[in-house]
A = this chain, B = another copy of it.
Amino acid sequence: MKDEKLPRKEKFSEWYNEILQMAEIVDVRYPIKGICVWYPFGFALRQRIYSILRSLLDVDHQEVMFPLLIPENEFMKEAEHIKGFEEEVYWVTKGGSKSLEMPLALRPTSETAIYPILRLWIRSHVDLPLKIYQIVNTFRCETKHTRPLIRVREITSFKEAHTAHSTWEEAELQVKDALKLYGDFFRKLAVPHVITKRPDWDKFPGSDYSMAVDTLMPDGKALQIGTVHHLGKNFSKTFDIRYEDPVGEQRYVNQTCYGISERCVAAMISVHGDDKGLVLPPEIAPTQIVIIPIAAKGKDVLGACKHALEMLKVAYRVVLDDSQERPGAKYYRWEMKGVPLRAEIGPREMEEGEVMLVRRDTFEREAVHLSKLSKAVEDKLSAIHADLYEKARQSLESRIAGCKTLDEAKVAIRKGMAKVSWCGEEGCGLRMEEATSGVVLGELAAVERGKCLICDKKTDKVVLMARSY
């Protein structure tokens, strides 16, 4: 880790790039633009986040693993889907010095890898619903400006779930379940978010409709952190995925798919971090508590530190930093890494049988007697999570402004989201985007009487607009 100063978080773009390197999340110095290396610490963070995602999915999904390479003929089967991806697909055309008979796509997403096999796995209504997921690397040959964890060429950590159902309505219920699951997941990361239905011109290529989970980054731009797509029978017809219903008739399945990428890590870092580095929700933090001895001549504080370590390590991920550095250097380092609680023990604490607990998020200090340490730590960690979430939620809500005019919307999206009425016509939506230089994120579930900002038609529809990553 470089012993340098992090840029202030106000300068978000600089802060973001630097914190990834200084906190050792990802190393951006890999010799291909838009492709990063996960440091050991970043990888540990990634693993904790994805193990939470796994535990939520494992309740009723099965984890599988499909190949990276997709033959061109399979990849090209779904016309809409292709149109959406073809300019971004990496193609393997050579093996050794020979040209391949058929080019192989690096999956940008796995519908066309998985669905030819689902065709074999699904025979009868008893095979339904089928719910699988995988966590894999996917690839996009990005032409836009890349940004670590946010817009990358190798998405190292794409969680994609795929489900098949008898009816369109059942698939719709799955869309709702998936959104609920994503809500639970992002609450564990203490990342507040909004859910909208993407407009038709921005839905997943080949879907009936797309739902999206967005959050707001500190610079006021929206970041899509999860999507859920209702695929209807579009892919099942293309890939001939049928089941025999209870009366013996062959029917096409209805499908959904939903994904989350390492953008969830980017959001978690960006929403909570501060001028001193990462601030991690306790459930995510690879180290939850760091014990730091404040040495003084003739006092064996280390013994007291070890005692506290023994007490805490039963229930928490705790580290005793007994290196030779001065305490200030240790503070700097562990603050950068976002460790939620610091436990200091100096001569005074030792004499009183106490530990000084310092919260990473507020720097609030409290001396706690050893006999009450475990309980105090438990309370503080859960308070940290609740406070992080509440603060972030308020910040998000304060940056969503109801707007009655294009001008108001244009102003609102400089620092967040604009909530506006829209008639539902694509033409009006696109004109709203043009006039504000923002995008229509999508429609809220809420119903609000109003008039379309463009055509003045009465409408119940409200959409969120924002600048977006």
Interface bits A12-36 vs B (CB < 8 Å: 1, else 0): 0000000000000001011110011
**Given A39-B64, A63-B43, A117 and B87 contact (CB-CB distance below 8 Å):** no
Query: Among B27, B74, B86, B96, which residue has its beta carbon within 8 angstroms of that of A97?
Result: B86
Cβ contact within 8 Å between A37 and B64: yes
Query: Among B44, B66, B103, which residue has its beta carbon within 8 angstroms of that of A63?
Result: B44
Q: Does A90 contact B (CB under 8 A)?
A: yes
Query: Among B35, B43, B116, which residue has its beta carbon within 8 angstroms of that of A31?
Result: B116
Complex Cα–Cα for A38 and B136 (A) = 13
Query: Among B117, B141, B154, which residue has its beta carbon within 8 angstroms of that of A96?
Result: B141
**Separation in Å of the A35 CB from the closest CB of chain B?**
5
**Separation in Å of the A63 CB from the closest CB of chain B?**
5
**Separation in Å of the A79 CB from the closest CB of chain B?**
16
Q: Does A104 contact B (CB under 8 A)?
A: yes
CB contacts (< 8 Å) of A31 on chain B: these are 71, 74, 116
Cβ contact within 8 Å between A37 and B65: yes
CB contacts (< 8 Å) of A153 on chain B: these are 69
Cβ contact within 8 Å between B95 and A89: yes
Q: Does A62 contact B (CB under 8 A)?
A: yes
Residue of B whose beta carbon sits closest to that of A74: B31
Cβ contact within 8 Å between B154 and A67: yes
Q: Does A92 contact B (CB under 8 A)?
A: yes
CB contacts (< 8 Å) of A116 on chain B: these are 30-31
Cβ contact within 8 Å between B89 and A91: no
CB contacts (< 8 Å) of A91 on chain B: these are 92-95
Query: Among B88, B93, B139, which residue has its beta carbon within 8 angstroms of that of A93?
Result: B93
Can you sample 12 A-B contacts with CB below 8 Å?
A: A27-B120, A29-B117, A29-B120, A30-B116, A32-B67, A35-B67, A37-B64, A37-B65, A88-B96, A90-B92, A91-B95, A94-B103
**Given A32-B71, A47-B63, A64-B38, A93 and B94 contact (CB-CB distance below 8 Å):** yes
Count copies of this chain in the complex.
2
Complex Cα–Cα for A27 and B113 (A) = 13
Interface bits A278-312 vs B (CB < 8 Å: 1, else 0): 00000000000000000000000000000000000
Interface bits A199-237 vs B (CB < 8 Å: 1, else 0): 000000000000000000000000000000000000000
Which residues in window 36-91 of A have CB below 8 A to B?
36-40, 43-44, 46-47, 62-69, 71, 74, 86-91
Cβ contact within 8 Å between A67 and B106: no
Which residues in window 92-120 of A have CB below 8 A to B?
92-97, 103-104, 106, 113, 116-117, 120
Q: Does A132 contact B (CB under 8 A)?
A: yes
**Given A95-B90, A120-B27, A69 and B37 contact (CB-CB distance below 8 Å):** no
**Separation in Å of the A169 CB from the closest CB of chain B?**
26
Q: Does A395 contact B (CB under 8 A)?
A: no
Cβ contact within 8 Å between A43 and B69: no
**Given A31-B71, A120-B27, A120-B29, A95 and B65 contact (CB-CB distance below 8 Å):** no
